[in-house]
């Protein structure tokens, strides 16, 4: 029934359309334009389109037309590919070169980049930032980079920082803080101002040993200021037998309570633990004890302005020491600076007593000791750079005192005694001597040439002697 009704409706509709079409007349002329209707309401807002791709941040590395890595408009001059491999029967392709970008994240330099061949490691940089220490280098995924790991792809590393804390009175807090800091080197030490009780420094469990243990456990290079630390007694004994932590100490300021210092070095190589110590200071130190710093080969600066005496071998073999300035020192023990091969300048204006071999093997060029009366044995032996000396009050000169030096002239108008080999050198051309008894003028090669013979010959004696041919066959004459 439903189908029949539907068919009937369709036929009627078709008939109406035919009738209307058949009865339509010709089109009339176009009527006038009607007035414009009112503007309709704004339609609903369309759906938001998809987000476009992120733009270049200006720091994303890319390979330029010249084959180098570029950052923004800066050519790093680092090749993106390594050199070709050596030719052979089956030559290997050159290794890829990757770009490692370091983002200082507020530090200086802010941005740095290095080209690294596949499988090699990148060197850790140490940027600076006021008020902060470097925490470490991290990937964009917040993973700390291990600088022992090989580089196998382009990577950007970001510096993370930790606010500087320098004052500590608790070793637990110190340990926690040091463990947060980045691995460093001796050129970038962390500054620590300590205020603890050092106790009896050479005994187990003392504050000094516990401090060294904390430094050892953290493995970080430090500068120590112990000015405010207390201690038992007044002798700062660093204890050469205890090794922990010492190689990480780059500089140390001693407690104000300390008046003497020992135990930083040793003549025995296995007991030389302050291998990176570059400077030391102390406002209250008056005595540098025997064997205080021997073998501290990195030591450059020593500042003890109140010191009056320096003990035996105190700085022996401190090969980085370049100068010594002690305005109040009156006595120096034997071998105190022997083997300090880079020591070229000293200032001891009130020095009176000086031991044997003190400056042997140094690089001194000019020395002046206005109050020294006796020049000890071997004092300047093998000082091959020494050309000038000033000892206006000296009356005696010990054995081999200037042996193998480079002295050109020597003026000792008050000398009354000279021991054997004292001036056995090839460079001396002029010397002024005082009145010397024959028994006090050694016959055993005191001078090269015939100076002694001329001195005691008729017309000899006190005065100035010169030679035109210095050395073994020198012929001396009295002016």
Q: Is the pLDDT reported for residue 440 higher than 90?
A: yes
| 74-79, strands of its sheet edge to edge | 61-63, 68-71, 74-79
Average pLDDT, integer, range 188-205: 96
Residue 309 lies in a domain: yes
Task: Mark which of 162, 188, 203 sits at the end of a domain.
Answer: 162
pLDDT, position 472: 87
Q: Is the pLDDT reported for residue 50 higher than 50?
A: no
Residue 278, domain extent: 165-314
pLDDT, position 172: 95
Residue 479 lies in a domain: no
DSSP state for residue 469 in the 8-state scheme: S
Domain count, the chain: 2
Interstrand relation of 476-478 and 463-467 (parallel, antiparallel or unpaired):
antiparallel
Task: Mark which of 255, 281, 314 sits at the end of a domain.
Answer: 314
Instruction: Read off φ and ψ for residue 15, nearest 5 degrees.
Output: -65, -40
Residue 98 lies in a domain: yes
Statement to judge: residues 157 and 170 lie in one domain: no
Residue 101 lies in a domain: yes
Alpha-carbon distance of 106 to 230, in angstroms, equals 39
Statement to judge: residues 129 and 213 lie in one domain: no
Q: Judge contact between 171 and 180, C-beta under 8 A.
A: no
Statement to judge: residues 129 and 157 lie in one domain: yes
Statement to judge: residues 280 and 246 lie in one domain: yes
Of 354, 360, 356, nearest in space to 340 by CA: 360
pLDDT, position 61: 67
**CATH code of the domain containing 116:** 2.60.40.4270
Statement to judge: residues 152 and 278 lie in one domain: no
Statement to judge: residues 135 and 177 lie in one domain: no
Between the CA of residue 312 and those of 100, 228, 243, 272, 400, what are the distances in Å?
53, 29, 23, 17, 19
Statement to judge: residues 119 and 206 lie in one domain: no
Statement to judge: residues 180 and 200 lie in one domain: yes
Burial (CB < 10 A; 0-12, 13-18, 19+), residue 458, is exposed
Statement to judge: residues 277 and 177 lie in one domain: yes
**CATH code of the domain containing 191:** 3.80.10
Residue 460 lies in a domain: no
Statement to judge: residues 228 and 257 lie in one domain: yes
Statement to judge: residues 142 and 225 lie in one domain: no
- pLDDT tier for residue 72 given thresholds of 50, 70 and 90: confident
Which ranges of 224-375 would DSSP assign to H, the alpha helix?
A: none
Residue 395 lies in a domain: no
Statement to judge: residues 129 and 172 lie in one domain: no
Residue 45 lies in a domain: no
Residue 48 lies in a domain: no
Q: Is the pTM of this model over 0.85?
A: no
CB environment 375-404: b (16+ within 10 A), e (fewer): bbbbbbbbbeebeebebeebebbbbbbbbb
Q: What is the pLDDT of residues 359-408, one digit of tens each?
A: 999 999 999 999 999 999 999 999 999 999 999 999 999 999 999 999 99
Task: Mark which of 129, 162, 195 sits at the end of a domain.
Answer: 162
Alpha-carbon distance of 174 to 218, in angstroms, equals 10
């Amino acid at each position: 029934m439903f189908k029949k009704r539907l068919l009937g409706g369709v036929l009627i509709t078709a008939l109406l359309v035919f009738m209307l079409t058949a009865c339509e007349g010709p089109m009339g002329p176009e009527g006038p334009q009607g007035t414009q209707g009112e503007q309709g309401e704004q339609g609903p807002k369309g759906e938001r389109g998809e987000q476009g791709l992120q733009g270049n941040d200006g720091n994303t590395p890319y390979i330029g037309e010249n084959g180098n890595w570029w950052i923004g408009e800066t050519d790093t001059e680092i090749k993106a590919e390594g050199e070709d491999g050596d030719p052979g029967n089956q030559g290997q392709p050159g290794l890829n070169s990757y770009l490692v970008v370091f983002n200082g994240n507020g530090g200086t330099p802010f941005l740095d980049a290095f080209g690294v061949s596949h499988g090699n490691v990148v060197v850790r940089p140490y940027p600076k930032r006021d008020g902060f220490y470097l925490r470490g280098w991290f990937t964009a995924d917040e993973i700390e980079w291990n600088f022992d790991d090989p580089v196998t792809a382009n990577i950007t590393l970001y510096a993370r920082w930790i606010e500087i804390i320098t004052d500590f009175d608790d070793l637990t807090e110190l340990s926690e803080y040091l463990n947060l800091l980045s691995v460093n080197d001796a050129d970038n030490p962390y500054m620590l101002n300590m205020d603890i009780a050092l106790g009896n420094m050479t005994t187990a469990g003392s504050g000094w040993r516990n401090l060294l243990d904390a430094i050892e456990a953290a493995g970080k290079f430090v500068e120590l200021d112990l000015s405010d630390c207390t201690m038992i007694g007044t002798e700062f004994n660093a204890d050469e037998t205890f090794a922990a932590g010492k190689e990480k100490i780059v500089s140390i300021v001693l407690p104000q309570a300390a008046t003497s210092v020992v135990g930083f070095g040793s003549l025995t190589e296995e007991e030389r633990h302050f291998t990176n110590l570059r400077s030391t200071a102390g406002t209250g130190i008056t005595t540098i004890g025997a064997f205080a710093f021997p073998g501290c080969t990195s030591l450059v600066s020593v500042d003890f302005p109140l010191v009056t005496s320096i003990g035996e071998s105190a700085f022996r073999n401190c090969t980085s020491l370049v100068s010594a300035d002690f305005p109040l020192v009156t006595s120096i023990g034997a071998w105190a600076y022997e083997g300090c091969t880079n020591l070229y300048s000293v200032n001891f204006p009130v020095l009176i007593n000086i031991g044997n071999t003190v400056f042997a093997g140094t690089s001194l060029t000019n020395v002046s000791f206005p109050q020294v009366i006796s020049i000890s044995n071997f004092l300047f032996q093998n000082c091959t750079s020494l050309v000038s000396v000033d000892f206006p009050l000296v009356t005696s000169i010990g054995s081999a005192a200037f042996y193998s030096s480079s002295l050109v002239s020597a003026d000792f108008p008050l000398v009354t005694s000279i021991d054997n080999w004292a001036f056995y050198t090839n460079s001396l051309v002029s010397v002024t001597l005082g009145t010397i008894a024959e028994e006090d003028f050694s016959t055993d090669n005191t001078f090269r040439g015939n100076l002694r013979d001329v001195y005691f010959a008729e017309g000899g004696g006190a005065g100035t002697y010169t030679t035109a041919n210095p050395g073994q066959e020198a012929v001396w004459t009295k002016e």
